[in-house]
Amino acid sequence: GLDRITFVVHDWGSALGFDWAMRHESRVRGLAFMEAILGPVPSWEQFTPQGREIFKKLRTPGVGETMVLDHNMFVEQLLPGSVVRSLSPAEMQHYRAPFVERTARKPMLAWPREIPIAGEPADVVTVVSRYRYALCQSQLPKLLFTVEPGMLVRAPLVAWCRASLPKLDVIALGRGLHFVQEDHPHAIGEHIAAWVRRTRAG
């Protein structure tokens, strides 16, 4: 099996990565993360009005299917709308390629319905709450990339991370929304490489 893993995670990848890492901490070297799921969302009031409307619709049977499966909303609207720069036609074609068929879009509908909001889904709330607590105890090196204004990780959550997560380094990348890798790819790669060298040397 894999050993001495350095995780680099984002969005739902962070939930999967954090959960695995906190259950197999001895096999992990460090955690780098951006726009991550760092805990259950306590209430719908945490969302902007626009975000609340979109995600409530996504979780509504029938409505979410039309938005994602029929109209491919995640690729056509949410993706370019969550990047500061404009994605080129060639870039958009690469993002569309895996999701040409309607059935291929089902995971993009399932994931937003699993976000732990206001206590639901209860099983996901349990998992995310468990790894959130474990992250606050963990002595693994951690690297948080922040953007302004961000979408999942805004200033209050950044402050919580600084106060609550041991062995945390924070890198401010500048302007960004959610898909920060599209706006800051080189900076992210360079900072991760430098951080890995530091943590291995230490």
How would DSSP label each residue in 111-143? HHHHS-BTTBSHHHHHHHHHHHHHHHH--S-EE
State residue 201's pLDDT score: 86
Q: Say if residue 154's pLDDT is above 80.
A: yes
| pLDDT band (50, 70, 90) for residue 2 | confident
What would the pLDDT profile of 37-94 be if each residue is shown by its tens digit?
Answer: 999 999 999 888 988 999 999 999 999 999 999 999 999 999 999 999 999 999 999 9
* pLDDT mean over 111-124: 97
**CATH superfamily, domain at 5-41+123-201:** Alpha/Beta hydrolase fold, catalytic domain (3.40.50.1820)
State residue 47's pLDDT score: 87
Q: What is the mean pLDDT of the chain?
A: 97
In the chain, where the domains are located: 5-41+123-201, 45-114
Q: Say if residue 202's pLDDT is above 80.
A: no
Query: Mapped to the 3 state alphabet, what secondary structure does 144-180 carry?
Result: EEEEEECCCCCHHHHHHHHHHCCCEEEEEEEEECCCH
Q: Say if residue 99's pLDDT is above 80.
A: yes
Report the alpha-carbon distance of residue 4 to residue 168 in Å, rounded.
18
Phi–psi pair at 33, nearest 5 degrees: -150, 155
DSSP-derived letter for residue 85 is S
The residues that are catalytic are 11, 35, 178
